[in-house]
């Protein structure tokens, strides 16, 4: 794995992990928009755990590349779903936020 791929993957893992922890901790900047988008509170923990699993998978991918690739695919799909959720809520100004989190996962996947 090249240095670039390693750094990009580490950044993607950090960002997904941070986002997952923020969701599980019910950080105001995360849960207020979720509520406004109509995402039921009953799934917030699952969404946070999925992000943490993706972050962990990216890290494991340093030693088991197929796990890292699958984790990157999962995170890209997760954040694509987040974009769809934001668009369905007609919060078009918020579309860049999930894209910012998706970008390093896409880059890690491309560099894998």
DSSP 50-107: HHHHHHHHHHHTTTSHHHHHHHHHHHHHHHHHHHHHHHHTT-GGGTHHHHHHHHHHHH
Cα–Cα distance list, 96 to 45, 47, 83 (Å): 23, 19, 8
Predicted model pTM: 0.93
The reported pLDDT for the residue numbered 1 is 74
**Mean pLDDT per 10-residue interval, the chain, length 112 residues:** 93 97 96 94 97 98 96 98 96 95 96 88
């Amino acid at each position: 794995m090249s240095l670039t791929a390693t750094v990009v993957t580490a950044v993607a893992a950090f960002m997904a992990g941070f986002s997952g922890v923020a969701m599980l901790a019910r950080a105001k900047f995360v849960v207020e928009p979720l509520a406004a988008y109509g995402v039921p509170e009953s799934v917030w923990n699952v969404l946070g755990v999925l992000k943490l699993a993706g972050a962990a998978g990216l890290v494991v991918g340093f030693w088991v590349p197929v796990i890292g690739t699958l984790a990157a695919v999962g995170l890209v799909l997760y954040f694509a779903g987040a974009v769809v959720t934001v668009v369905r809520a007609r919060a078009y100004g918020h579309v860049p936020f999930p894209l910012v989190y998706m970008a390093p996962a896409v880059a890690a996947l491309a560099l894998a």
